[in-house]
A and B are shown apart, each in its own frame.
Chain A
Amino acid sequence: MLKMHNIRKSFRTDTIETHALRDFNLEVSEGEFVSVTGPSGSGKTTFLNIAGLLETPTGGQYLLDGQDVSGLNDRERSRLRNEKIGFIFQGFNLIPDLNLFDNIDVPLRYRGFNAKERKKRIEKSLEQVGLAARAKHLPAQLSGGQQQRVAIARALAGEPRFLLADEPTGNLDSLMARQVMELLEFINEWGTTIVMVTHDPDLARRAHRNIQIVDGQVSDLHQNALGNEAATA
């Protein structure tokens, strides 16, 4: 599903060049649930931005679903992002003056679906996260956990094959965090590949596989117990 080979990303100012990722190598198979951990500033978010086609690497090769994305222009990268990738952010990133229906509508608009198809998908995704009755509510009228569920519904509406989650439970209390994590696991069981950045070791352990990034490189790869059980099942 995702294959990164010798990916490099550096940021240059007038006086300093910072290497956010160096010789970064990673493969994620279809249907996997991978957690990404590491200290602050290690390059987790840079990895996620490159994986989500929001940033381009300075060097190396990135294959998404078998397609080399390095030569794509902005329009092609945007289309790929819209069709294959779903995003879940720590801060939910819902558009505050759009109601839930219109928030979920955003990626579907860029996909070019007609009104009937969009409505069907929005209602279905809201139902999947248990918020069908709140379609006309504004994000501010919901709790944090509910907002994150809306964000998940928005990511799911386009039926992406690849979900990128950047600390999806970081702004939630433990009960809400558990609910969101269960929802992500449920989504993964349907076949969606998930890569989740987290600081929480308990959540990281619930993924099939955990990778640790230190100083812009993958320093450790290990199968989690849950992943092993799933693999042997």
Chain B
Amino acid sequence: MFGYYVSLALRSLRGTPVLSALMVAAIAVGVGASMTTLTLNYMMSQNALQHKDDRLYAVQLDSWAPEKAYQNDTQMPWELTYRDAQALLRSDIPSRQVAMHRWGATVSQENSELRPFTAQIRVTTRDFFALFDIPFIYGNTWHKSSDQNPTREVVLSKKTNEKLFNGENSVGRSINLNGEPFTVVGVIEHWNPTPKVYDLNNGAFKNSEEIYMPFGLHRQLQIYSWGNLNGWKSEDISNYEDLLNSHYVWVQYWVELDNEKKKHDYENFLAAYIETQKTKGYFPRPLKFGLTRPSEWLVVNEVLSDDNRILGWLSLAFLLVCVVNAVALLLAKFLRKAPEAGVRRALGASRKAIFSQHLIESGCIGLIGGVMGILLTLLGLSLIRTLQMGRLDQIASMDWVMMLAAIGLAILASLLAGIYPAWRISNTNPSVYLKTQ
């Protein structure tokens, strides 16, 4: 009977085009508005490291001021001092560990017509690629010794390799960063996690870096972070070495711990490290450190803010208003068809059959409304991309999951809207209409 009810529904919709269009519009506008907001929230909630959520941890050490916390009453600094990062790198407990920060430089090529351009660079240890599961197209990461010793090597993103070398295998070839020559040792696949879970301090929705270079180059190139540089006391910094030994926090740190035992061992290691540092006058606050999984890292960094959540609820409230409108329209439409329902009852349709027929008609309205809602959502997201001038390009887009969710939401909304009108018409006394028709 399902197919029969669908054919009756389509016939009914064609029979009352204006009323049907109003109902579809009510559902479509509600779904479009709510899905625009929900899509943004959904994309903001994505965890690109979900598959390693049980092994990866962002490391925090509370090296902040003695009299107050970094933020609020409890928050630790998001980043480490260079000195602490170097100390942690000496641990052999993590199977992989990454110290890193954002940087940038002018890229150019010898004997090339390509105009020099500024590239976003990640200065990092070699484990970055393995820890975050980034596959290589050509070559590989640099040698471990480059994490401590200056080696002028780089890994390029796929896009940068296409820009500089037309996508060819560029391993062994040379590029200039700020005029200094660097050798390409690897090219990675396209990798652009959104939100940028590994670096939420410098814009959660920015693109991944174009070039990656070894952490051991700091002293030689005197690399200053292009990200945050925060300190809690005034320090006399007269040269680069002073910065490296300062209280300033600017190095992001991630570890991969394969099991609970390793995590426990690492916690002991961090506690012992802080205790040791306290004896040297560092870490004036009570002993505190953090090992935070990627999923929790997204939450504590408030990638999806309370404002976004409230907007999500408001959009659903708007959908509810649209559903209430659809209820009124459906009631008008169905009750106009009450005589036909009376005839069907006389010919053998049960109340349940009449209810099902009309609920399926509501569902068909929802399906059409859902498709229209997707178009409105795409329009809304496109508007957001335009207004945000590229800042939200990564998240203001709809994937198949959200498209299916839009259809599902529309059908659910229309079924909810249809329950009362369908119940009303299935419970009317058929004999009233049979005599008066």
Contacts and interface: CB of A to CB of B under 8 A. Distances in A.
B309 interface: no
Interface string A6-43: 00000000000000000000000000000000000000
A106 B434 contact: no
A111 B431 contact: no
B281 interface: no
Interface residues of B, number: 25
Contacts of B11: 97-98
Interface in A55-83: 55, 74-75, 78-79, 81-83
A162 interface: no
Given A93-B434, A97-B15, A54 B4 contact: no
Contacts of B348: 78-79, 81-83, 107, 110-111, 158
B429 interface: yes
A110 to B, nearest CB: 4
Nearest to A109: B4
A49 B431 contact: yes
B1 A54 contact: no
A144 interface: no
B44 to A, nearest CB: 48
Nearest to B346: A87
B402 interface: no
Q: Is the contact region of chain B dominated by helix, strand, or loop, or is it mixed?
A: helix
Given A49-B431, A54-B431, A97-B15, A110 B349 contact: yes
Interface in B329-348: 339-340, 342-348
Contact of A93 (B4, B343, B350, B351): B343
Contacts of B353: 78, 110
B434 A54 contact: yes
A101 B349 CA distance: 18
A89 B347 contact: no
Nearest to B344: A106
Contact of B350 (A52, A54, A78, A95): A78
A79 B342 CA distance: 15
A55 B431 contact: yes
Contacts of A106: 343-344, 347
Nearest to B15: A97
B113 to A, nearest CB: 70
A95 B338 CA distance: 11
Nearest to B349: A110
A208 interface: no
Interface of B: 1, 4, 11, 15, 339-340, 342-353, 429-431, 434-437
Given A45-B431, A79-B348, 11 more contacts: A54-B345, A54-B434, A55-B431, A75-B350, A78-B349, A78-B351, A89-B434, A91-B437, A93-B342, A97-B15, A106-B343
Closest 9 CB pairs of A and B: A82-B348, A78-B350, A107-B347, A110-B348, A49-B431, A54-B431, A91-B437, A75-B350, A93-B343
